Amino acid sequence: MLRTRVIPCLQLINGSLVKTVKFKNHSYIGDPVNTVRIFNELEVDELCFLDIRASVENREPDYELLGQIAEECFMPLAYGGGIRTIEAAHRILSTGFEKIIVNTEAYRNPQFVRDLTARFGSQAVIGSIDVKKNIWGKRQVYIYDGTKKVEVNPVEWARALVEYGAGELFVTSMDKEGTWEGYDLELIKEISQHVSVPVIANGGAGSMNDMHQAVFEGKASAVALSSFVVYQKKGMGVLVNFPDKESLYVFNQG
């Protein structure tokens, strides 16, 4: 079988690397460029950066920082946050990033996704979906860094993003994000079964077993890791790390 992609997903605020819990209460992690150097040494296959406040603050991506990251990084890169125009996407991809991630603007203007894929190809466009349960247990989609609820079903929105041309989906459980409690397997599986593109599971990874369940039970095509790769353990200090090759080999055997 093909090796499952295991992708560190790193959050940015004001040029610093941070980590949130359920999209709130961010903690400082470190310098993003130095962190990239560590991941180079750990031979990570792919990296994802999200500027989590760019859309909320209605500002452009930090192109200077992204250029520094791309110059230092030896692996494929994806970026999301504040991408609202074809020009912004072109500028990011021109720095050396391979993929862009769209969330808020994709909902506000679905034609934007079509325009992106027409210009850059579906392989370069990832549709991001943030999902949270309400008090009755119903899953709802959010935009603007989880601050605004929109009236669309997660599965329907996933299918729409694929129809618009997104070549991958990045699905985050807001309830699980930063908790170390495991992925929302039901959410991941439901979306994976209704789309024809790879689904990246995000939010909640706390162990190799969580990753295994996301892929072999949730049917995710890839898994994103955040707290798991920037902390020693839950409740402990910062330590940039990544599963060793032996652990990843066992993980991929099912």
Dihedral angle sign, alpha carbons of residues 100, 30, 174, 216: positive
- Which helix (H) or strand (E) segment holds residue 224: the answer is strand 222-225
Is 98 in contact with 76 (CB distance < 8 Å)?
A: yes
Residue 94 identity (one-letter amino acid): S
Q: Which two tokens stand for residue 116?
A: 């992106």
Catalytic status, residue 244: no
| C-alpha dist (Å) from residue 171 to 88, 103, 141, 181 | 23, 10, 10, 16
How many other CB atoms are there within 10 angstroms of residue 119's CB atom? 13
Which of 62, 130, 145, 184 is labelled catalytic? Answer: 130
Question: Residue 19's CB: how many other CB atoms inside 10 A?
Answer: 19
**Residues classed as catalytic:** 130
